[in-house]
Amino acid sequence: MQFQKKELTKNQLRNIELLIYLYEKDAVNDEVVENLRQSELEYASLLDKYRLLEEKVNLDEKTNLLRMKNDYLTNILKTASRIYYGMKAKCYPVSFIRFDIDDFSKFNNLYGHDVGDEVLIHVARILKENSRPTDYVIRFGGEEFDIILPSTAIEGALVYIDKIFSKIRDLEIHFHGKNFKVTVSSGISHMIYEFGNAKIIENQDAEIRFKQMQREADDALYEAKSSGKNCYRIYDKLKKDEYSKIRQLYKKN
């Protein structure tokens, strides 16, 4: 039986050297090992993300953000599984945020599509500049943007979204002698994936989970819109039966 040779990356070699040094100093504990594992995960995630960005066909021309694809969560979980395989009850959090520019049609209808394009570009820039290299910043379509935050629990997602709202609150667009303010509404969903002895991530299962996260964030987004806009809401599974009513009422108004 032949085994394929697997070369160690520079990041892995650096972590091994650091681990040997810490062993010699009798300074290795669970926290150190977990931090090294997290470092390895971030490095692997970056490599996967850069490979994706090299595929220029997957970028939105107007905003230079990623286009939506169904396999993003699959890629994230497969990358994480390479690091956490064999760890029992290892919980891996992922958060998902959907942003919608409030009253976007007025920019196009009152001022023209050039102004609408400027709004899209400025909001996209804020999202991209304030996201980590491992985050997925996506133009979902029209005036909607999606953010996937790997290895991020809801607490981290709230820190992120508060920062985004603060940046957009300060945003003022100048176009042909006119000034424009922009607000957004947003919905947040999150999941926890438990790694164990299952090394293989099933594509279909991951895609189903991803669609569920999108649907939940969209429900929370409609709640934010119904609450007066310029705010965000977190999906609450206890309100699952209420979201369809919230959606219907908002569309009627």
Confidence of residue 79 (pLDDT cuts 50, 70, 90): confident
Q: At what angle do helices 113-129 and 154-169 cross, to 10 degrees?
A: 140
16 & 115 share domain: no
pLDDT of residue 40: 62
73 & 127 share domain: yes
135 & 23 share domain: no
What's the distance, Cα to Cα, between the start and end of the chain in Å?
Answer: 67
pLDDT of residue 111: 87
77 & 49 share domain: no
Number of neighbouring beta carbons within 10 Å of residue 238: 6
Mean pLDDT in residue range 98-122: 93
CA neighbor of 168 nearest in space, from 113, 115, 129: 129
Tokens representing 120? 């899209």
pTM listed for this prediction? 0.81
Give the position of tokens 């699952």: 240
**Annotation says 34 is catalytic:** no
In sequence order, what E strands does the chain have?
Answer: 66-67, 90-101, 136-141, 144-150, 172-175, 178-181, 184-195, 232-234
How many residues comprise the chain?
253
Tokens representing 116? 């609408």
Structural domain including 131 reads 64-250
Q: Are 42 and 150 in contact (CB under 8 A)?
A: no
pLDDT tens digit sequence for 17-50:
554 444 455 554 556 556 656 666 666 666 676 6
**Where a domain ends, among 34, 56, 78?**
56
Is 145's pLDDT higher than 80?
A: yes
121 & 226 share domain: yes
How much of the chain exceeds pLDDT 70, in percent?
74
Domain tally for the chain?
A: 2
Is 147 contained in some domain? Answer: yes
Give the position of tokens 């920062």: 163
52 & 73 share domain: no
Please state, in angstroms and rounded to a whole number, the distance separating the CA atoms of residues 129 and 144: 17
Is 1 contained in some domain? Answer: no
pLDDT tens digit sequence for 159-205:
999 999 999 999 999 888 889 899 999 999 999 988 765 556 788 98
CA neighbor of 98 nearest in space, from 203, 234, 192, 205: 234
pLDDT of residue 50: 64
In sequence order, what E strands does 103-165 have?
Answer: 136-141, 144-150
pLDDT of residue 89: 54
44 & 93 share domain: no
Catalytic pick among 42, 118, 143, 223? 143
Alpha helices (H) in 55-130, listed in sequence order? 72-84, 104-111, 113-129
Please state, in angstroms and rounded to a whole number, the distance separating the CA atoms of residues 204 and 223: 29
Please state, in angstroms and rounded to a whole number, the distance separating the CA atoms of residues 43 and 19: 17
Mean pLDDT in residue range 233-238: 97
pLDDT of residue 133: 85
36 & 110 share domain: no
150 & 132 share domain: yes
